[in-house]
Chains A and B, each alone.
Chain A
Amino acid sequence: MAKLMNARSGGLALLALVMAVSPLGFTNAYYYDVAVGALFNAMICVGLNLLIGYGGQISLGHGAFFALGAYASAIGTSRWGLPPLAALGGGAVLVGLLAFVLARPILRLKGHYLAMATLGIGMIIYIVLKTEAQWTGGPDGMGVDPLALGGFVLATDRHWYWLAAMLLLVVVWLALNLVESPVGRALRAGHGAQIGAEVVGVDTSHYKVLMFVVSAVVASMVGSLFAHKNGFITPDIAGFHRSIELVTMVVLGGMASIYGSVLGAVLLTLLPQVLAGFDDYEAMIFGAIMMGTMIFLPKGLLPSLITQIRKRAGGRS
């Protein structure tokens, strides 16, 4: 028990330390900008991992929930003059409701069918954002004002970095607690043996719906923040590609590993920036890294690494 507590809080402390120290290496606003992008993705992936890693359900539609949050903030603040936090909250509630309504019928599907259904939802949302030009500005996108919290305007990338870092700590902490709670145990039971879990009285579909809603709400809130930070959004953020990217981050980092999701998100956000200098070889190197990881570390980066370390240490955990 003590060890478990240690792993949980110790990990959080390590995460906080890394995020606090990293800016020492940031020489200009561009580094902060990339780092904020990585932290945003990390938050979404932690949420998404609850659904994929713990709930055992795949979603190819989370890019669309992210975009809905972004557009809720954009439309709420610029067209209706709502305060940013109200727009963010309103967007999250709407997305949560939408996810709840959709989840029941969708999560009854399995495997490819589930992936197809979430993919379909993502596509529909993408098309709506693209065509409802009087609201969303159409394919050319719309501008969003910077985030102002009680008179303080988050204008610089450095402000955003500290906000995102604190929020990531909160999200990770909540996710860790959720996973270790009865809800988390029920989820894993359902994932491991659905019939078995149902026989002992676990309402598996209830928990799956819950995780779907939670992960969608996280994506939506991050979307709102993203809209304010970027200052300009287009329907492309709801695209298929974006959803795939998020799932890739989760799988690369390690399914059912909260810290793995953070690692996967950070790596996959940084890689394209690091590789940008390689020009035409960028996609090739990127692909090679992905393939190598999947072949040699099939459980994802973090879980595979931890297993390796434990093996080296003499088979004791």
Chain B
Amino acid sequence: MRDLMRWGAAAFAALGFASLASGNALAAEPVRIGAFLAVTGPASFLGEPEKKTLEMYVDRLNKQGGVQGRKIELTVYDDGGAPDKAATFAKRLIQSDNVDIIIGGTTTGTSMAAIKIVEPAGVPFISLAGGIDIIEPVKKWVFKTPHTDRMAAEKVFADLHKRGLTKVALISENAGFGKSGHDQSLKVAGNYGIEIVADEVYSPKDPDVTAQLTKIKNTPGVQAIFNFGFGQGPAIVTKNTKQLGITQPLYQSHGVASKDYIRLSGDAADGVRLPAAGLVIADQLAATDPQKPVVSAFKADYETAFKSEVSTFAGHAYDGLQIALSAIMRAGSSDKAKVRDEIEKTSGYVGTGGIVSMSPTDHMGLNLSAFHMVEIVKGDWKMVD
């Protein structure tokens, strides 16, 4: 037995040192774009439209002859929203598929996991997730297209400030998006002279939040309520607010900017205000708005192709793809370092999320003008400003 084990160990060690990874020959034909998205799993309502959007536009561009005569090759992997899978797929895209650029990371968690891979590898990476940690502090190879939770909070507080409402009750989901939004809200409230007088949380699966809302109702001096959450939670908050007869105005975050929210909350949603991207209110944008033609065209494309309502998440993927492709065109090649530099120089790109102008210190390039304050009136969006 001893002999056998020693033999095994020796063979193991000898072969181990002998094995060498072989280099990969670079075939410079197509432009290779890689994506890892949460197509299944809890975040699939974000990842699925992202995947469909990327596929639709890559397909269309290839039919028109590709980029600078080169075909685009898109590789999409489904990470199911799991960060460890995302890291593996990022590695696979870089090492095995030799992609020139990566778009993706549906959630903040998957994006953060992939950053650990793309940064040392030196591959341009455009994330489609909201968290501000992705681009703050600035990382050389990492960019993102969606608005941050901090911007949503700032937009809401600016609107409250304009209406002269300064004492705000915050109610947020204690997970992911809501949690991060809650922290950012507390951070920026002071800048707008807003005082948070109540701070309540609920869990994303809570079927009822009247307890928290009753507490807010009994807090003296509350002038408005601000809810940060995703999915069904905000709809429950909205319904419960109405049931309790709370009359202070209710604000929601950009996380609920879909018709599903209105459908779930019914007429309780009337009068609710939230920040939303231009895509949501494409038909109400002023004719002079530079975003108008872009969002209208994208909405039409998406809705005719998939027979379902366009979402802002699909828009993030569209923006990511456009920013990537125009950077490749300006760089004149898919050389990773050149493309990275060109993405950073993106200026005045009109996308579905807003007008993007990046810089070495800002790898998102959106400002507050990207958001419109929207009020829900009779089950539909109405632009306030």
Interface residues of A (CB under 8 A from B): 5, 8-10, 12-17, 19-21, 23-24, 26-34, 37, 130-131, 133, 138-141, 143, 157-158, 162, 165, 169, 226, 230-234, 236-237, 272-273, 276, 282-283
Contact = CB atoms under 8 A, between A and B. Distances in A.
B96 A28 contact: yes
B377 to A, nearest CB: 34
Interface residues of B, number: 45
B45 to A, nearest CB: 17
A240 to B, nearest CB: 12
6 contacts: A13-B7, A20-B15, A23-B15, A33-B88, A139-B176, A230-B84
Interface in B1-26: 1, 4-5, 7-9, 11-16, 19, 21-22, 24
B176 A141 contact: no
Contacts of A5: 1
B227 interface: no
Interface string B63-97: 00000000000000110011111011101101110
A131 B16 contact: no
Interface in B93-126: 94-96, 108-109, 112-113, 115-116
Given A23-B16, A232-B83, A276 B116 contact: no
B87 A13 contact: no
Given A20-B11, A30-B91, 19 more contacts: A17-B11, A20-B13, A23-B19, A27-B21, A34-B88, A37-B84, A130-B175, A138-B179, A139-B109, A140-B176, A169-B12, A230-B116, A231-B113, A232-B112, A232-B115, A234-B109, A236-B83, A273-B88, A276-B89
A27 B23 CA distance: 7
A8 B1 contact: yes
Contacts of B19: 23-24, 26
A19 B4 CA distance: 16
B156 to A, nearest CB: 21
Contact of B83 (A133, A234, A272): A234
Contacts of B40: 283
A37 B131 CA distance: 27
Given A29-B91, A30-B92, A276-B77, A13 B109 contact: no
B5 A13 contact: yes
Contact of A26 (B9, B21, B83, B88): B21
B112 A141 contact: yes
A29 B113 contact: no
Contacts of A138: 175-176, 179-180
B283 interface: no
A229 to B, nearest CB: 9
Interface string B167-189: 00000001110011000000000
B54 to A, nearest CB: 13
A237 B84 contact: yes
A29 B4 CA distance: 31
B109 A141 contact: yes
B380 interface: no
Contacts of A32: 21
Interface string B13-53: 11110010110100000000000000010000000000000
B87 A17 contact: no
Contact of B12 (A17, A30, A283): A17
A28 B95 contact: yes
